[in-house]
């Protein structure tokens, strides 16, 4: 039987589902061409990683694959501090073929849900909020609100790593409405306060 040619796009099936066989091969080999296409959640540690994570790969039976960082966080996994999921390229294999979701993701990345709700976002896209939620569940694996939440935390993590901005400024620039909310969400995602990340970089 001829061996099938596998490419990064084949990590996803034609309906937006991950192919676990392809993802597992890419994870174990740390294939850079798959970076950003999926994330691996390790059930024993409750940490999720990029395919290129330098940490020794976990056993396959303990790993679950996710379409996005938001989907992994929605299931209770926290970001790996070694491979830094917040720096992964955003390049889902279906990009360009799902224009509504692509536009929604761009708007969310620009802060569309920082001071507005799903109803407002859906109206900007010309669809209903329930339909928008269905599209996100199918092609992103997480709700628009979860994607926005993950995006804010990722922006904050980059600012903590790359700048010396005060915590209040980090919170506001990341899209959080208050320092208290920033501290709460960050600690929920990383299982540690943002100050501990800053101290570790000192």
Residue 52 lies in a domain: yes
Instruction: Please report the pLDDT score of residue 73 as a whole number.
Output: 95
Asked if residue 185 and residue 120 are part of one domain, the reply reads: yes
Asked if residue 184 and residue 102 are part of one domain, the reply reads: yes
> What's the rounded Cα separation, in Å, for the pair 20 and 17?
9
Q: What string of pLDDT tens digits covers the 202 residues of the chain? A: 333 444 555 565 544 578 899 999 999 999 998 998 899 999 999 999 999 999 999 999 999 999 899 999 999 999 999 999 999 886 544 443 467 888 899 999 999 999 899 999 999 998 999 999 999 988 889 999 999 999 999 999 999 999 999 999 999 999 999 999 999 999 999 999 999 988 766 5
Three-class SS of residue 57? Answer: coil
Contact 75, 69 (CB under 8 A): no
Give me 175's structure tokens. 């899209």
What CATH number does residue 37 fall under? Answer: 3.40.10.10
Contact 75, 143 (CB under 8 A): no
Asked if residue 188 and residue 99 are part of one domain, the reply reads: yes
Contact 13, 19 (CB under 8 A): yes
Asked if residue 98 and residue 56 are part of one domain, the reply reads: no
Q: How many domains does the chain have?
A: 2
Residue 1 lies in a domain: no
Instruction: Please report the pLDDT score of residue 115 as a whole number.
Output: 86
Three-class SS of residue 96? Answer: coil
Asked if residue 71 and residue 33 are part of one domain, the reply reads: yes
Asked if residue 157 and residue 104 are part of one domain, the reply reads: yes
Number of other residues whose CB lies within 10 A of the CB of residue 74: 18
For Cα atoms 72, 73, 78, give the angle at the middle one, nearest 5 degrees.
100
**Residues β-bridged to residue 41:** 48, 64
Give the domain-ending residue among 26, 54, 87.
Answer: 87
Give the domain-ending residue among 21, 55, 87.
Answer: 87
Residue 23 lies in a domain: yes
Instruction: Please report the pLDDT score of residue 197 as a whole number.
Output: 87
Asked if residue 110 and residue 196 are part of one domain, the reply reads: yes
Give the domain-ending residue among 87, 109, 137.
Answer: 87
One DSSP character per residue, 29-56 reads HT-GGGBTTBEEEETTTTEEE-TT--SP
Contacts of 29 (CB under 8 A, 6+ apart): none
Domain membership of residue 79 as a residue range:
10-87
What CATH number does residue 163 fall under? Answer: 1.10.10.60
Residue indicated by tokens 């709460």:
184
């Amino acid at each position: 039987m001829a061996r099938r040619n596998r490419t990064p796009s084949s990590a996803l099936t034609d309906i937006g589902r991950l192919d676990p066989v392809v993802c597992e091969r890419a994870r174990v080999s740390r294939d850079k061409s798959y970076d950003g296409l999926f994330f691996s959640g390790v059930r024993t540690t409750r940490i999720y990683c990029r395919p290129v994570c330098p940490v020794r790969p976990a056993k396959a039976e303990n790993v679950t694959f996710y379409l996005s960082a938001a989907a992994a966080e929605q299931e209770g996994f926290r970001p790996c501090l070694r491979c830094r999921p917040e720096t992964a390229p955003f390049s889902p294999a279906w990009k360009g073929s799902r224009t509504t979701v692509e536009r929604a993701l761009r708007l969310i990345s620009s802060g569309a849900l920082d001071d507005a709700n799903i109803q407002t976002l859906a109206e900007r896209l010309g669809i209903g909020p329930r339909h928008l939620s269905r599209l996100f569940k199918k092609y992103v694996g997480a709700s628009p609100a979860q994607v926005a939440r993950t995006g804010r935390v990722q922006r904050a993590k980059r600012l903590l790593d790359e700048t010396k901005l005060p915590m209040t400024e980090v919170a506001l620039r990341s899209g959080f409405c208050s320092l208290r909310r920033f501290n709460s969400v960050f600690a929920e995602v990383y299982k540690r306060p943002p100050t501990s990340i800053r101290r570790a970089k000192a």
